[in-house]
Amino acid sequence: MNLKDKIRAVGGSSGTRKDPPAETSTDCRHFAVYRPAEEFPGALELTAETLRMMSDREIPDGLDPRRILYLDTETTGLGGSGTVAFLVGMGWLTDQGFEVHQFLMRDYPEEPFLLKHVAAGLEKFDVLCTFNGTTFDVPLLESRFLMNRMDRERLLALPHLDLLHMCRRLWKLRLGRCNLGHLEEVILGKPRVDDLPGSEVPQRYFTYLKTKQMSLLDDILKHNAQDIASLCVLLNHMADLYLHPEKIRFSEDVYSMGRALERINRTENARHCYRLARRGRMGDSAGAALAMSYRRGGEREQAAEVWRDMIRDRRGGIVPYVELAKYEEHVRRDIPAALELTEKALLLISEPTLREGKTVQESKNELQYRRQRLIRKLKER
Amino acid sequence: MNVAQLADQLRKDSMFMKDVTRWEVIPARRARTAPFPACMDGRLKPALESRGIHELYIHQVRSLEATDRGEDVTVVTPTASGKTMCYNLPVLSAILKDEDARALYIFPTKALSADQVSELYDMIEEIGVDIKTYTYDGDTPAAARKAVRQAGHIVVTNPDMLHSGILPHHTKWVKLFENLKYIVIDEIHTYRGVFGSNLANVLRRLLRLCDFYGSHPQFILCSATIANPKELAETLIGRPVTLVDENGAPMGERHFVFYNPPVVNRQLGIRKGAIPITRTISGMLLKNGIQSITFARSRLTVEVLTRYLKDLVRDPLGNAGRVRGYRGGYLPGERREIERGLRSGKVDAVVSTNALELGIDIGALDACVMCGYPGTIASAWQQAGRAGRRQGTSIVFFIASSAAIDQYIVNHPDYFLHKSPENALLNPDNLYILMSHFKCAAFELPFEEGDRFGNAPGTEELLEYLDEEGILHHTEGKYHWSAEDFPASEISLRSAASENFIIIDITDPAHHRVVGEMDRFTAPMLLHENAIYMHEGRQFQVEKLDFDACKAFIRSVDVGYYTDADLNISLSLLDVEKEEPFARTAKAALGEIKVTALVTMFKKIRFDTHETLGFGHVRLPETDMHTTAMWWTLPDALADKMAGDRLKNGMMGIANLLRIVCPLYLMCAPQDVAVVYQVRSPITNKPTILIYDNCPGGIGLAQKAFSMRDLLLEKALQVAEDCGCEYGCPSCVGPVGEIGEDGKRTAMRLLKELAG
């Protein structure tokens, strides 16, 4: 038995096949898609200042929205050095509308050409925008640049807006999952039709490699161009919401925006959102978040005011009582008032509470302890 | 009483001594040292001196010098001889000189890495420099991984993690690969067989990537005592190594006592059990305040012996805590605590499986008791090495069980004591293993036409094959990975076949849990439906075996029997590689065969009495395995002289003898090698005895057996001759009931005939 037969016996054989001969190429394939400006309302008005509310990345001053590069890759697998980005789509706004330029490697030898186009693209822009690019597209391209001994500096230095994270901060509370297709449907109100599932992409490409039938890739190209355009629409939709939180219909979303703003120390904007959210389903959390924000800022009286409002509106269970009791005891040193609030909280304890992770009994014990201390303090006077 | 006094007393005890087959005293050895070599960075000196080290042992100096000359080094050192210095000193020197330099440490298990890293930390702290040492394994938190990849000067890992976590993601490890100066592999004697063959290929992949990144790392390898450390190391890394095997560490006097429990039933060859004897001897050590380690072969025996010894010292003060058990399955924290207890002297006796055999630091103890032979000479020496201080006397007891291999050792102590004939074998070119790693390599970096994969044969054929199968895509002189799979996830380094069966406990319907894995060639035997599967002393019944999905579903049961499957093996010839005439008319051959295994039925056997309670049918597909084999063909003339069952009985006797001898001389576990006899073999059409590698593709055991075939027959005959039985017993040719009255005589006659 010769070695080749042994290899077949060990590895199993599906019968020999032969590829069509490849031609030596000097560039990869380029496709361009143009979309009208109407599809991207307000996109040209996007400012650095607005983006800074949405992300903590370093956004250059006076950023021209036409210098944001929207990028998405289609790959042969889920990662590791053997995964290749066979299609890279890059889109940007122009005065006339939105352009998507897609670079496809028709075979592996075209990869360096594809990467050169990507590198050239990166040079021309000031901000990169992707969907899940932090964990997927950027490390993958980094790996491909490295494998082709190309410079990775620009890719890593470019400020990067990862819409996945930005969307999660805004909508995860309400929607749960935040994949791009779902967001397009629910947030933008544009469900996709006949879209190719992402999991089928690699196999499509491998079949194309064997047959070189370009029609196999039609769906992928369409899907990729749509993804990129959606990035731009989504970013601008979000920007609009950040500028006008009062337009947001869902209490969960306004509250989430408040949290997102607070995370990057946009305290005033955050408080505005919390105030807006106080009337809706997230009212309890929003009230508590607002009061806590005041307290952290040293504005104890404003915080107390919020707690008092909550008590008046019967919101937030025992939390406002406890917090207000702390305020009376430690700030205003009004022990009788603190004691009264604590005793009211004890009466209320069976009602639902905001305090997660604590059993009713634990809360009760804490309140009792507080009550005892206050009584002792009263006596000591 | 101290060890020396205890030894004196025992030697005067004739009741004890009548069952001692050998009392060997290995004299004390002085330290041989030399000054710090010039190649060692001067900043290391104060750190060493503060630990009272003013000179190095000669083996440390030799290995430092060889490393400095740019050679790949293999250091062979017994336990507690300061081997970690052999690699820590050059590595630290290199990083002190160039802070960009990187080193990769590979240990076979996670526990070992934890141990060695803590030693390294101490050393680095003492030098007072910022050398970052990180462990990178399955336990490394995701948040810490980035720092390890970017900043770790010394990355400590294991083969499995290197294979699936580092190499396929090499672009995240640029710093490491670009600056890799040393690759340290400790305990290389554990990399034999399938595990070693896998590691050799992982290293081929590693070196291929280093080449891509332009680094040229040197190897520093450490091994326990085996016969062929140089050969093993060279096969593992695919390049020549410098061997450093003069041990300069001092050693106190050591006593080696071989004890064979007395025969209780001569007819059936039954001896008194090894466990009660071990209980007595370990108990005696404990009562005399001699710190000891007792090795037992199974987890169950460990638990039983631990309880016996604890009972011996149990008192209200909690002295039972002076005795500890140690085995796989204990939580890491508990293990660390026991190890500390041994070092500090808080623990007087530990009973362990071979889990403590590897270089985990427990300090040196006074005594070691081996309850049964651990399977290989190297293991036995590793275990014995746990006793033996640099000064003072130590003692090792070997208590033989009635297993044939134990009996061989206790009756041939010279085999154990003198120059070890054992070899650690591996076969990096095993086609199954090679192909799996070849795929990984192609995933990691495209092959170019004319590329080699280490020194593996058949690169071109493999590339063509993978291209034909559409796994690689050949274009403009390069082979690109063109499949969706992540090939590293398909390989388990510790077994040859790629698809393992997963064993799932479904006792709790709400909470199914995976309890283990089994390779696909063993699964039909032990995991067929209705089989009783034993796991950590608990019984489970196999409810369902999903052969296609490679899953077995088991449920906890409590029954008074176990099951034993009947395996039908048929062999067919694929290829004869070598054939040589032998002993006038006989022939010996080496080649490749296909082993087809089919399980058709199983027996239920009652515990204790071993009576058969019933049968069951098994309906499973055949499993095929290609492997290497060697065989002896007996001449027809010889066969014709033997009437009826005589030939069959004689051949069965020889096969049984070879089953004892092969693991010893091929240095493998008994289940790694299969011995089969066929009165009329379909392979040769003659009476034939075959030895084959019991793993797909083979790991070189058949080749080794072929090269030492005369010795194997000679040793088989010696076992039969030396055995005191008349007509056969389980310790030699097999019991009379199996091989008949004339079985032993016929086997010996045939062996003499073949030995010429």
Asked if the C-beta of B146 comes within 8 angstroms of chain A's C-beta atoms, the answer is no
Average pLDDT over residues B343-357: 86
Q: Which of B149, B480, B485 to mutate to test the interface with A (most CBs of A within 10 A)?
A: B480
Chain B residues within an 8 Å CB radius of A106:
none
- Residue B109: band (very low, low, confident or very high) from pLDDT cuts 50, 70, 90: confident
Lowest-confidence segment of A189-193, B216-220, B324-328, B674-678 by average pLDDT: B324-328
Q: How many CB atoms lie within 10 A of CB B569?
A: 12
Q: What ipTM did this prediction achieve? A: 0.82
Measured distance CA(A317)–CA(A363) in Å, rounded: 12
Residue of B nearest to A20 (CA): B475
pLDDT of residue B658: 94
CB contact under 8 A, A10 and B697: yes
- Kindly report, residue by residue over A79-137, the tens digit of the pLDDT: 889 999 999 999 999 999 999 999 999 999 999 999 999 999 999 999 999 999 999 99
The CATH classification number of A29-243 equals 3.30.420.10
For CA atoms B233, B234, B239, B245, the dihedral sign is positive
CB contact (8 A) between residue B476 and residue A22: yes
Cβ within 8 Å, pair B465-A142: no
Yes or no, beta carbons of A81 and B446 under 8 Å apart: no
- In chain A, positions 18-57, which contact chain B (CB-CB < 8 Å)? 19, 22, 24
The Cβ-side half-sphere exposure at B397, using a 13 Å CA radius, reads: 33
CB contact under 8 A, A206 and B485: no
Instruction: Please tell me the distance from the alpha carbon of residue B670 to that of residue B654, in angstroms, as a whole number.
Output: 16
Distance CA B21, CA A375 (A): 85
Q: According to the model, what pLDDT value does residue B685 have?
A: 87
Write down the pLDDT at residue B180.
97
> What does CATH list as the number for B33-244?
3.40.50.300
Looking from the CA of B571 toward its CB, the CA atoms found within 13 Å total 28
Contacts of B444 in chain A (CB under 8 A): 80-82
Q: What is the pLDDT at residue B384?
A: 87
- Average pLDDT of span B634-653: 83
List pLDDT tens digits, range B15-61. 999 999 999 998 998 999 999 999 999 999 998 998 889 999 999 99
pLDDT for residue B447: 96
B575/A1 Cβ within 8 A: yes
More confident: B44 or B330? B44
Closest partner CB to A24 (pick from B470, B476, B487): B476
> Could you tell me which chain A residue has the CA closest to the CA of B480?
A108
On the question of pLDDT at B567 being above 70, the answer is yes
Task: Confirm or reject contact between B577 and chain A (CB < 8 A).
Answer: no
B470/A17 touch (CB, cutoff 8 Å), yes or no: yes
pLDDT digits (tens, 9 = 90+) for B5-15: 999 999 999 99
Domain limits of chain A? 29-243, 245-310, 317-381
CATH 1.10.3210 fits A245-310, yes or no: no
Q: What is the phi-psi region of residue B485: left when phi exceeds 0, alpha when psi lies from -120 to 50, beta otherwise? A: beta
From A6, A108, A147, residue closest to B431, measured CB to CB: A6
* pLDDT for res A99: 96
Within 10 angstroms of residue B574's Cβ, the number of other Cβ atoms is 18
Could you say which of A14, A146, A210 has the minimum Cβ distance to residue B171?
Answer: A146
pLDDT at residue B142 in the model:
82
Q: Which residues of A touch B432 (CB under 8 A)?
A: 10
Whether the Cβ atoms of residue B456 and residue B429 lie closer than 8 Å to each other: yes
Which of residues 641 through 680 in chain B touch A, CB cutoff 8 A? none
DSSP tag of B690? E
Helical residues (DSSP H) of B257-350, grouped into ranges: 274-287, 299-313, 332-344
Instruction: Tell me whether A76 touches chain B (CB under 8 Å).
Output: yes
Of all residues in chain B, the one with the smallest CA distance to A18 is B468
Closest residue on chain A to B443 (Cα): A82
Q: Which residue has the higher pLDDT, B521 or A319?
A: A319
Q: What is the mean pLDDT of residues B725-744?
A: 82
Q: Is the pLDDT of residue A19 over 60?
A: no
Give CA separation, B143 vs A164, B139, B701, in Å: 20, 11, 44
User: Within a 13 Å sphere around the CA of B130, how many CA atoms are in the beta-carbon half?
Assistant: 3
pLDDT value, residue B612: 80
Q: Rounded to whole angstroms, how far apart are CA atoms B364 and B692? A: 40
pLDDT in tens, B648-689: 999 999 999 999 888 878 877 777 889 999 988 888 888 899
Nearest to A81 among B171, B478, B485 (CB): B171
pLDDT of residue B610: 63
Which residues of chain B have a CB within 8 Å of the CB of A22? 475-476
Q: Which of B470, B431, B430, B474 lies closest to B450, judged by CA?
A: B474
pLDDT at A260 over 70: yes
* Same fold: B3-27+251-417 with B33-244: yes
In the predicted model, what is the mean pLDDT of residues B627-654?
86
Q: How many CA atoms lie within 13 A of B578 on its CB side?
A: 12
pLDDT at B616 over 60: yes
A82 interfacial to chain B (CB closer than 8 Å): yes
Residue B140 has what DSSP assignment? S
pLDDT tens digits, B363-420: 778 999 999 988 777 788 888 888 877 778 999 999 998 777 788 889 888 877 875 5
Check A1 against B442: CB less than 8 A apart.
no
Assign A171 a pLDDT band (cuts: 50, 70, 90).
Answer: very high
User: Quick one: pLDDT band at residue B499, thresholds 50, 70, 90?
Assistant: low
- CB–CB of A3 and B461 under 8 A? yes
Average pLDDT over residues B50-75: 94
The pLDDT, as a whole number, for residue B268 is 58
At residue A351 the predicted structure's pLDDT band, cuts being 50, 70 and 90, is: low
Burial class (CB within 10 angstroms; exposed 0-12, middle 13-18, buried 19+) of B563: buried
| Other beta carbons within 10 Å of A296 | 11
From the list A7, A84, A108, the residue facing B465 with the nearest CB is: A7
pLDDT in tens, B412-469: 888 778 755 466 778 888 888 899 999 999 999 999 999 999 999 889 999 999 999 9
Is A107 an 8 Å CB contact of chain B?
yes
* Residue B476 near chain A (CB below 8 Å): yes
Q: Is A202 on the interface with B (CB under 8 A)?
A: yes
Lowest mean pLDDT among A140-144, A284-288, B72-76, B722-726: B722-726
Q: Is A9 on the interface with B (CB under 8 A)?
A: yes
Q: Give the other-Cβ count within 10 Å of B147's Cβ.
A: 12
Task: Name the residue ranges covered by the structural domains of chain B.
Answer: 3-27+251-417, 33-244, 431-482, 500-559, 570-596+623-754
Are B476 and A109 in contact (CB < 8 Å)? Answer: yes
Query: Is B137 a residue whose pLDDT tops 70?
Result: yes
B475 with A19: Cβ contact below 8 A: yes
**How distant is the Cα of A171 from the closest Cα of chain B, in angstroms?**
25
The 8-class DSSP code of residue A16 comes to -
pLDDT tens by residue, B352-361: 988 777 667 7
Mean per-residue pLDDT over chain B, rounded: 86
How far apart CA A202 and CA A135 sit, in angstroms, is 19
Given CB atoms, is B585 within the 8 Å cutoff of chain A?
no
Nearest-angstrom CA–CA distance, A30 and A87: 10
- Using pLDDT thresholds of 50, 70 and 90, give the confidence band for residue B479: very high
Interface test with A, best of B164, B481, B592 (most A CBs within 10 A): B481
Mutate to test the interface with B, among A1, A2, A6 (most CBs of B within 10 A): A6
Contact between A82 and B575 using a beta-carbon 8 Å cutoff:
no
Residue B593 has pLDDT above 60, yes or no: yes
| B722 touches A at CB < 8 Å | no
For residue A269, name the pLDDT band (cuts at 50, 70, 90).
very high
How buried is B572 (Cβ within 10 angstroms: 0-12 exposed, 13-18 middle, 19+ buried)? exposed
Q: Cβ A202–B480 below 8 Å, yes or no? A: no
- pLDDT band per the 50, 70, 90 thresholds, residue B498: low
Residue B118 is predicted with a pLDDT of: 77
Residue B315 has pLDDT above 80, yes or no: yes
Q: Which fold has domain B3-27+251-417?
A: Rossmann fold (3.40.50)
Q: Is the pLDDT of residue B475 over 70?
A: yes
| pLDDT reading at A49 higher than 60 | yes
- A147 touching chain B per CB within 8 A: yes
Hey, is the C-beta of A16 within 8 angstroms of any chain B C-beta? yes
- pLDDT average, residue stretch B69-81: 87
Q: Which residues lie closer than 8 Å to A19 by C-beta, 6 or more apart?
A: A209, A210, B473, B474, B475
Mean pLDDT (whole number) for B136-149: 84
Cα(B496)–Cα(B443) distance, integer angstroms: 20
Residue B336 is predicted with a pLDDT of 80
Rounded to a whole number, what is the distance in Å from the CA of B623 to chain A's nearest CA?
13
Chain A residue with Cα closest to B466: A11
B609 pLDDT band, cuts 50/70/90, is low
Residues in A closer than 8 angstroms to B443, CB to CB, are 80-82
Q: Which of B455, B431, B69, B65 is nearest to B234 (CA)?
A: B455
Q: How many CB pairs under 8 A join A and B?
A: 106
Residue of chain A with shortest Cα separation from B461? A4
Share of chain A above pLDDT 90, in %: 71
- Sort out which chain A residues have CB atoms less than 8 A from B478's CB and list them: 108-109
Q: Report the percent of chain B where pLDDT is more than 90.
A: 40
pLDDT of B717: 93
* Candidates B473, B572, B576, partner chain A, best to mutate (most A CBs within 10 A): B473
Decide whether A29-243 matches A245-310 in CATH topology: no
Q: Is the pLDDT of residue B716 over 90?
A: yes
Q: Give me the numbers of helices (H) and strands (E) for chain A, helices first please.
A: 16, 6
User: Which of B469, B474, B486 to mutate to probe the A interface, most A CBs <10 Å?
Assistant: B469
Chain-chain contact of B592 with A143 (C-beta, under 8 angstroms): no
